[in-house]
Amino acid sequence: MIVDCHTHLNRYTPDLPTALADRHRLMQSVMDANGIDYALVISSYDVTPDRPPTDEVMACVADDPRIGVVAAATARMLETGDFSGLRRDLATGTIRALKLYPGYVPIALNDRRTWPVYELAAEFGLPVMIHTGDTYERRAKVRFAHPLEVDDVAVDHREVTFLMAHVGNPWFLDAAEVIYKNENVVGDICGLTVGEFQPRYAALARAKLNECIAFINDPAKLLFGTDWPISDVASYLEFVRTLDMTDEEMEGLLWRNAVRVYGLEVGEGRADGGGA
C-alpha cells in the first residue's frame, strides 16, 4: 500500500486543467499510474479561482473513497479571527487534519492568532500539518517557516499532534531535533523538489534525509508525501525507495504511519477516511 499524505488540487501552472473536477480526474489517473491507494488533498492559505476553498474541495472529492481532505486555516481567518467556516467544515466529520502555512502567511506559529487552530484540532481530535522550510512562492517570508518554530507550539499544546511538512527543508537537522524531542511531532518528506528529482539534488536530499532518519531513530515518525502536482509522483517514489530504511521501516513510511497519524481505516487493500 501507498498513502500520499500531501497533495493539492490547486492550479499552480497553466498546463493544469482549469476546472477543479478535471484536476481531480487528473489526480486519479496519476494515483492509478503510480499505485497510490489513498491521498490527502490540502486546501490553500489563500482562496482564488485557481485555489478553491476547503468546502469546494470537499464537494469535489466527496464520492472518492481514495481521497481525504486537509483543511487550511487561511490568511483571512488568521487576520480576522473568524474560524466559523472552518468549524462548519470540521463538523462534517470528513476532514482529516488542519494546516497552517507559516511563511506564506507572515504570522508566527506561537502568535495568539493561531491558537484557535490548535484548540479546534484538540476539540476534533485532528493533527495539525505545518509548512516548514523553503517556499514555492518568492513573496513568502521564510523565517516564519523555520522548523524550530514548531517546537514552541508543540511544547505549549501537548494534546495536539503536529506534522512538519517538508521536514524543514533545507533545515533538515533542525527539523529532526524537533521531531526527536517532542512525542507529539512527526514529519513528512514531501515537496523537496519541483517536478522530477535531478541526480545532483537527489544525492544531496538523500544524504540529508538519511541523516534525519538516523538522528530521529524512530521510523514511525516520518510519513511519505509528494506535494503533487508540484512534485512528480513517479520520480518521488523512485527517490524514496533509495533511502536507508529496512523493508519494515519503508512500509511504515509509505502507509502505516499515515494511517496512525490521520486515523485512517485500512481495508480491502486501500485506506479509507474514518470518522473524525
Per-residue pLDDT of the chain (276 residues; tens, 9 = 90+): 999 999 999 999 999 999 999 999 999 999 999 999 999 999 999 999 999 999 999 999 999 999 999 999 999 999 999 999 999 999 999 999 999 999 999 999 999 999 999 999 999 999 999 999 999 888 899 999 999 999 999 999 999 999 999 999 999 999 999 999 999 999 999 999 999 999 999 999 999 999 999 999 999 999 999 999 999 999 999 999 999 999 999 999 999 999 999 999 865 445 554 332
pTM of the model: 0.94
Measured distance CA(6)–CA(190) in Å, rounded:
7
* CA angle in degrees (0–180, nearest 5) for 105-109-113: 75
Domains and CATH numbers, the chain: 3-273 (3.20.20.140)
pLDDT by residue (tens digit) across 217-252? 999 999 999 999 999 999 999 999 999 999 999 999
Q: Quick one: three-class SS letters along 54-122?
A: HHHHHHHHCCCCCEEEEEECCHHHHHHCCCHHHHHHHHCCCEEEEEECECCECCCCCCHHHHHHHHHHH
Q: Mean pLDDT across the chain, nearest whole number?
A: 95
**Grid cell locating 122:** 484538540
Q: In angstroms, how far is the first alpha carbon of the chain from the final one?
A: 22
Half-sphere exposure of 213 (CA within 13 A, CB side): 20
Contact in structure between 274 and 264 (CB atoms under 8 Å): yes
